[in-house]
């Protein structure tokens, strides 16, 4: 199936939609039945049958079908937040006494969740590469978790090599694909077992919803939907699902624009004398770049400064890049991890003081470049 058609039309011509140009939003918290016996049967299968909002909902189902098709997965389950999806998916794959391998830098709250699981006897080890995996794997290792590109440094990970190694060692794999979206990268086709996204970012695309999704095989998604999804209570609302469906309609066009503007800004910064480095996958020269068909507008730069106050002042001088967490919307954003991320988490990810993350939105590239140029004038270079 064509991605543009999936984003725009998949599942939107069914009788229950009555020809509406926008799919209906089912606001009801529950569904009723003709008999107690019918309700009893439905309760046994709340992932397939509509019983209660906490289980599933027709509007949410439509979004799940679209996301599963985009990722080339059998099933998808949407959650009320990205961390809801990540926490439930990890929990579904590990038990007390198990060990998780974390490859490369990952989203800070995911690391915090893995630390939280230690009180239940689930341990984890961070490694930099597959050689590190060889050294760190244990008899109790069950899961290999990673992102590509990696968090904050945006290093490319060879997905096929990672999943091949994991299969050889009998491990499940889970990957966060939020940076690329399914438009630019499809990890399941490269062997990943479970793929997660924060729908709050590019897929929603307008900074007006919070949500997450887990995509994978029916074998893995169905038990997750009937247990962790139900018991953790992180159900997605139909209103947020409707917003995400609208976001999908423009996703291919928006991702092309984010790529164009992001590369223009990154190329300007890469040539600037006060910038030590630009961490953008397009500049990596990694052989595995072929696994991606494009690039988003999220990357980082490293200022030629090791002074936290000066790094914060640089962000404060920007006018078109607003200071704020998250990313993936129309607006351009900036954040300084050395100031905002817990020191122990930052050290784990190897983030230098001078690192600044930029989310290039949909404003004109020239406007954003001029803004950065003016802010960089105030940065004092190291001797």
Tokens of 347: 């050290």
pLDDT score, position 371? 97
Residue 382 reports pLDDT greater than 70: no
Residue 141 reports pLDDT greater than 70: yes
Average pLDDT for the chain: 94
Tokens of 92: 């579904």
- The whole-number average pLDDT for the span 142-147 is 98
pLDDT band at 291 (very low <50, low <70, confident <90, very high): very high
Fold for the domain defined by 251-376: 3.90.1150
pLDDT score, position 345? 65
Of residues 56 and 183, more confidence is placed in: 183
**Tens digits of residue pLDDT in 101-123:** 999 999 989 999 999 999 999 99
**Tens digits of residue pLDDT in 10-60:** 988 887 777 888 888 999 899 999 999 999 988 888 878 889 888 889 999
pLDDT score, position 42? 87
Instruction: Give the Cα separation of 110 and 89 in Å (integer).
Output: 11
Q: Give residue 57's region: left, alpha or beta (phi > 0; psi -120 to 50).
A: beta
pLDDT score, position 344? 67
Of residues 135 and 349, more confidence is placed in: 135
pLDDT score, position 21? 86
- The percent of residues in the chain predicted with pLDDT above 90, rounded, is 81
Is residue 102 within 8 Å of 127, Cβ to Cβ?
yes
- The whole-number average pLDDT for the span 219-241 is 94
Residue extent(s) of CATH 3.40.640.10 domains in the chain = 3-248
pLDDT band at 266 (very low <50, low <70, confident <90, very high): very high
Question: Residue with structure tokens 């979004």?
Answer: 63
Question: Residue with structure tokens 């890049």?
Answer: 321
Contacts with 195 (C-beta within 8 Å, 6 or more apart), sequence order: 71, 73, 174, 175, 176, 177, 187, 188, 214, 215, 216
Please tell me the CATH code under which domain 3-248 is placed.
3.40.640.10
Q: Which of 182, 293, 192, 176 is nearest to 247 (CA)?
A: 182
pLDDT score, position 90? 98
Residue 204 reports pLDDT greater than 90: yes
pLDDT score, position 383? 42
SS3 of 22, please? coil
Name the strand (E) or helix (H) holding 290.
Answer: none
Residue 348 reports pLDDT greater than 70: no
Helices (H), the chain: 3-8, 36-43, 58-71, 82-93, 108-116, 130-136, 159-168, 181-184, 218-226, 228-232, 238-270, 308-317, 337-340, 343-349, 365-376
Is residue 99 within 8 Å of 122, Cβ to Cβ?
yes
């Amino acid at each position: 199936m064509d991605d543009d058609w999936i984003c725009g039309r998949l599942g939107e011509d069914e009788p229950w939609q009555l020809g509406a140009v926008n799919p209906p939003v089912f606001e009801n918290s529950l569904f009723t039945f003709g008999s107690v016996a019918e309700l009893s049967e439905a309760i046994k299968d709340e992932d397939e049958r509509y019983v209660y909002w906490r289980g599933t909902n027709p509007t949410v189902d439509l979004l799940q079908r679209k996301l599963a098709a985009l990722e080339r997965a059998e099933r998808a389950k949407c959650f009320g937040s990205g961390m809801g999806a990540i926490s439930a998916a990890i929990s579904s794959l590990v038990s007390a006494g198990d060990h998780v391998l974390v490859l490369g830098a990952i989203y800070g709250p995911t690391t915090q969740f893995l630390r939280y699981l230690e009180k239940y006897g689930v341990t984890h080890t961070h490694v930099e590469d597959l050689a590190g995996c060889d050294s760190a794997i244990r008899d109790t290792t069950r899961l290999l978790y990673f992102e590509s590109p990696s968090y904050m440094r945006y290093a490319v990970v060879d997905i096929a090599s990672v999943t091949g190694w994991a299969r050889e060692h009998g491990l499940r794999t889970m990957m966060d694909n939020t940076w690329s979206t399914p438009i630019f990268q499809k990890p399941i086709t490269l062997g990943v077992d479970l793929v997660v996204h924060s729908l709050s970012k590019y897929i929603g695309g307008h900074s007006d919803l919070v949500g997450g999704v887990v995509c994978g095989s029916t074998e893995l998604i169905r038990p997750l939907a009937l247990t962790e999804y139900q018991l953790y209570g992180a159900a997605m609302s139909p209103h947020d699902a409707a917003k995400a469906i609208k976001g999908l309609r423009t996703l291919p066009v928006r991702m092309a624009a984010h790529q164009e503007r992001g590369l223009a800004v990154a190329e300007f910064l890469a040539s600037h004398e006060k910038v030590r480095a630009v961490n953008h996958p397009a500049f990596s020269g990694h052989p595995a770049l072929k696994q991606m068909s494009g690039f988003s507008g999220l990357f980082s730069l490293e200022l030629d400064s090791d002074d936290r106050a000066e790094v914060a002042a640089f962000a404060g001088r920007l006018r078109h890049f607003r200071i704020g967490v998250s990313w993936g919307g129309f607006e351009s954003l900036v954040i300084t991890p050395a100031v905002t991320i817990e020191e122990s988490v930052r050290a784990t990810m190897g983030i230098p003081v001078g690192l600044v993350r930029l989310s290039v939105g949909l404003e004109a590239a020239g406007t954003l470049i001029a803004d950065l140029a003016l802010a960089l004038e105030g940065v004092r270079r190291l001797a």
